Amino acid sequence: MKQIRAFLDLIKFEHTIFALPFAYLGMVLAVRGLPTFQQFFWITVAMAAARTLAMSFNRLADRHIDARNPRTANRPIQTGQINVQTVVIGSIVSVLVLTLAAWQLNELTLKLLPGASVCLLGYAYTKRFTWLSHFILGFTDGLAPMGAWAAVRGSLFTLADLPAWLLLFTVTLWIAGFDLIYACQDTEFDRAEKLHSIPARWGNAVALRVARICHAITVGLLSAIGLAMNLGPVYGIGVAIVAALLIYEHSLVRPNDLSKVNVAFFNVNGYISLTIFVATMLALTIPR
């Protein structure tokens, strides 16, 4: 039980709240309402398994780097709370559960699984060779709502599937933006370790400007989804709240003052994902 608790702490399982609402967003928009219970269940299982796989493998791949970083040196692997074998087992179980969930959903999700797995596992190594790692992480997370859409509709490549692609790019830029903010904590360490990131290459001020641009485009893409699916004013209010939350998030951090980065990263982004999901559900259910 101690190993299980340490594993859940290692992968920050509670932060699944960032990704689940957007996955559910793809699900409810695909049917303009609620899917079947079976679809809802297996999409939830797939999301939890995919995130567990990505996080556990990332912790394995970076365990030696994290041990040298003062910010991450107290993680469970580094302190000995959990051994590498347990994390490997957790990763393998996640792959099996994810495969089962994809198989239970439909043929398209099963066909898409190998490509999604490459992204889930490959992201862990991107900081070793490209400063685009923030956007690769965002793209990987953006596959969640697209996968949920495919799980419900069984298609991705028709004109009617345009909202799924808008969701992909929305989440890509949203995640990349707040990952840029978070990465500013490790600027000097990344430079010393020759790791690639936008803050390490161009500094925190540039990184925060790029993050603001990413989040401005995120709001624009959310608005485009509302127009494409005719979601109405309730959804528009939700987008306005998200815009206000993003402005607040950026007000909390400065290039030389990252003392409130955890509030910006964990709290505000949780509110953002829940806000847009609730606004979408209201838009789909309240008669106009």
Q: Give the model confidence (pLDDT) of 28-42 as tens digits.
A: 999 999 999 999 999
Q: What is the mean pLDDT of the chain?
A: 91
Q: State pLDDT tens for residues 182-203.
A: 999 999 999 999 999 999 999 9
What DSSP character marks residue 195?
Answer: -
Strand locations in the chain (E) = none
| Residue 75, pLDDT score | 85
How far apart CA 233 and CA 235 sit, in angstroms, is 5
Find the helix packing angle between 16-31 and 269-285, rounded to 10°: 20
Let me know if 164 is exposed, middle or buried by CB neighbors in 10 A (0-12, 13-18, 19+): buried
Nearest-CA neighbor of 62 among 138, 125, 118, 4? 125
Amino acid, res. 181: I
pTM score above 0.85: yes
Residues with Cβ within 8 Å of 163's Cβ and at least 6 positions away in sequence, in order, are 29, 149, 225, 228, 229
CATH among 1.10.357.140, 1.20.1630.10, 3.40.605.10, 3.40.50.1370 for 2-285: 1.10.357.140
Q: State pLDDT tens for residues 106-132.
A: 999 999 999 999 999 999 999 999 999
Task: Break the chain down into helix, strand, coil percent, rounded to 5.
Answer: 85, 0, 15
| Residue 22, pLDDT score | 84
Q: State pLDDT tens for residues 52-67.
A: 899 889 999 999 999 9
pLDDT at 181 over 90: yes
